[in-house]
């Protein structure tokens, strides 16, 4: 399998996993994306790495996003959570 196929496969698995998570959350619960200042990228779904595009970023419920940001910012401010609704039209 070529490297491009491996990357595409990885991205598609992440999208499917995020779709499953989103469907479990139900409508109406606000979702957040997490920007890593340290890594200059968005957190991927399931907290697995970082990505450059918002379309590939994981969507997290408020409580989970807050836990991630709190854990990441113990020593220095590295991560921030942003409501998805504030990013409409920003490269989804």
Q: What does the pLDDT look like over 12-34, one tens digit per residue?
A: 776 666 666 655 555 578 999 99
CA neighbor of 49 nearest in space, from 25, 24, 17: 17
CA atoms of 90 and 88, how far apart (whole Å): 6
* Tokens describing residue 37: 């200042």
CA neighbor of 91 nearest in space, from 62, 61, 51, 47: 51
Q: What does the pLDDT look like over 39-60, one tens digit per residue?
A: 999 999 999 999 999 999 999 9
Q: Is the pTM of this model over 0.85?
A: no
Q: Where are the domains of the chain?
A: 3-87
Q: Are residues 18 and 58 in contact, defined by beta-carbon separation less than 8 angstroms?
A: yes
* pLDDT at residue 78 in the model: 84
Q: How many Cβ atoms from other residues are within 10 Å of residue 48's Cβ?
A: 13
């Amino acid at each position: 399998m070529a490297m491009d196929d491996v990357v595409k496969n990885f991205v598609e698995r992440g999208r499917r996993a995020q779709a499953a998570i989103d469907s479990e959350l139900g409508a109406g619960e606000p979702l957040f994306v997490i920007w890593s200042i340290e890594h200059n990228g968005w957190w991927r779904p399931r907290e697995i790495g970082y990505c450059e595009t918002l379309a590939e970023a994981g969507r997290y419920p408020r409580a989970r996003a807050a836990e991630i940001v709190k854990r990441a910012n113990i020593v220095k401010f590295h991560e921030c959570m942003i409501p998805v609704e504030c990013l409409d039209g920003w490269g989804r």
